[in-house]
């Protein structure tokens, strides 16, 4: 046994050293710093935490981030499942799936200009909406400024879905394909309609996948900052000012004490969330 221990650690060593050096030890240092003042490095108890929780930008950013996840996760998971079921039921080929995955390969920076053209006040989306209204015989002028009003939030949701739909569909498909065909067939023979087969037989077996799909989609939700930052800069419309913007701005302004406390709080909330979800899921 001891020899096996040793072999395992030999394999693990390079990675473990790096993880300790670049992630775990420095994070411990951040926890320590969150209790110190920024300049004099004196112990100041929970002052930094108090400052963070009274910081309006932090409250706004947390609210927006939570709101974003609350909207985009159900939309993405629901839409993804719907598309996956259609793909599984009607299109055995992989052609469409590749098209859905394509946005994943597109570097955020390359579509910035397209985003700007589409979502500008005089942009393509408004032009298309106007054309569509004209087609219906109505004469409307669309002058929605997507980036500088509350609509910015929905642009963000849309760009998240654009980027991640293929990922989620692939995950759901993997789950769908693991449901044995005989079970579906048996239910059908017993007289269940296709809807009943789905909700009674297939869906319950997808639930275990729900945990990983949620967690992975949540992880990707934070990367939407790339599009948001590149299109709208450090201080976008307040409806899409997220925790990522805040961390970035604090970093630029060197508010390291607040950053330390906020990193501990955000990290703590996320770790708790992940562990809770995992508990829930292991009970299933």
Partner 1 sequence: MQAAPGMDGEAVEKMRRRMKRGMAVVVLAALAVLLCLPVAMLLFGSVTGDYEMWERLLPMTPAGNGYVRWRWIPEFPDFSRYANLLFATPQFFVLFWNSVKITGLILAGQLLAAVPAAWAFARYDFWMKKALFAVYVILMLLPFQVTMLSQYLVLDRFGFLDTHWAVVLPAVFSTFPVFLLYRSFLTIPESLLEAARMDGAGEGYLFWRIGLPLAEGGIWSAVVLNFLECWNLIEQPLAFLKEQSLWPLSLYLPQIGLERAGFAMTASVVTLVPALLVFGFGKEYLEQGISAAGTKG
Q: Which of 35, 100, 146, 153 binds partner 1 (CB under 8 A)?
A: 100
What is the distance between the alpha carbons of residues 273 and 69, in angstroms, rounded to a whole number?
13
Environment class of residue 100 by beta-carbon count within 10 Å: exposed (0-12), middle (13-18) or buried (19+)?
buried
Closer CB to partner 1, residue 187 or residue 224?
224
Closer CB to partner 1, residue 201 or residue 230?
230
Report, in Å, the least distance between residue 94 CB and partner 1: 8
User: What part of residues 132-161 is at the interface with partner 1 (CB under 8 A)?
Assistant: none
Q: Residues in contact with partner 1, total (CB under 8 A)?
A: 98
Report, in Å, the least distance between residue 56 CB and partner 1: 19
Q: Does 59 bind partner 1 (CB under 8 A)?
A: no
- Cβ-count burial 203-214 (b if 16+ within 10 Å, e if not): beebeebbbebb
What SS3 class is residue 43? strand
Environment class of residue 262 by beta-carbon count within 10 Å: exposed (0-12), middle (13-18) or buried (19+)?
buried
Report, in Å, the least distance between residue 150 CB and partner 1: 21
User: What part of residues 196-255 is at the interface with partner 1 (CB under 8 A)?
Assistant: 208-209, 212-213, 215-216, 218-219, 222-223, 225-226, 229-231, 243-244, 247-248, 251
Report, in Å, the least distance between residue 137 CB and partner 1: 19
What is the distance between the alpha carbons of residues 5 and 249, in angstroms, rounded to a whole number?
45
Q: Does 86 bind partner 1 (CB under 8 A)?
A: yes
Q: Does 180 bind partner 1 (CB under 8 A)?
A: no
């Amino acid at each position: 046994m001891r020899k096996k221990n040793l072999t395992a650690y030999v394999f693990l060593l390079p990675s473990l050293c790096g993880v300790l050096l670049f992630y775990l030890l420095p994070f411990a240092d951040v926890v320590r710093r969150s209790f110190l003042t920024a300049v004099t490095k004196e112990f100041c108890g929970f002052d930094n935490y108090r400052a963070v929780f009274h910081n309006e930008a932090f409250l706004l950013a947390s609210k927006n981030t939570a709101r974003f996840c609350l909207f985009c996760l159900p939309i993405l998971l629901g839409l993804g499942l719907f598309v996956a079921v259609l793909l599984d039921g009607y299109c055995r080929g992989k052609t469409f799936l590749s098209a859905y995955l394509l946005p994943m390969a597109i570097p955020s920076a390359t579509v910035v200009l397209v985003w700007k053209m589409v979502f500008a006040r005089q942009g393509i989306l408004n032009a298309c909406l106007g054309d569509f209204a004209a087609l219906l015989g109505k004469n409307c002028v669309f002058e929605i400024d997507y980036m500088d009003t509350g609509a910015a939030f929905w642009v963000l949701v849309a760009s998240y879905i654009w980027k991640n739909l293929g990922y989620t569909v692939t995950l759901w498909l993997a789950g769908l394909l693991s449901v044995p065909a005989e079970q579906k067939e048996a239910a059908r023979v017993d007289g269940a309609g296709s809807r009943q087969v789905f909700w009674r037989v297939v869906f319950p077996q997808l639930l275990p996948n729900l945990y990983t799909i949620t967690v992975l989609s949540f992880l990707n939700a934070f990367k939407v900052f790339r599009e948001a930052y590149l299109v709208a800069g450090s201080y976008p419309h307040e409806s899409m000012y997220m925790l990522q913007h805040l961390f970035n701005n604090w970093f630029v302004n060197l508010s390291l004490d607040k950053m330390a406390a906020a990193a501990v709080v955000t990290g703590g909330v996320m770790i708790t969330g992940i562990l809770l979800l995992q508990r829930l899921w292991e009970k299933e």
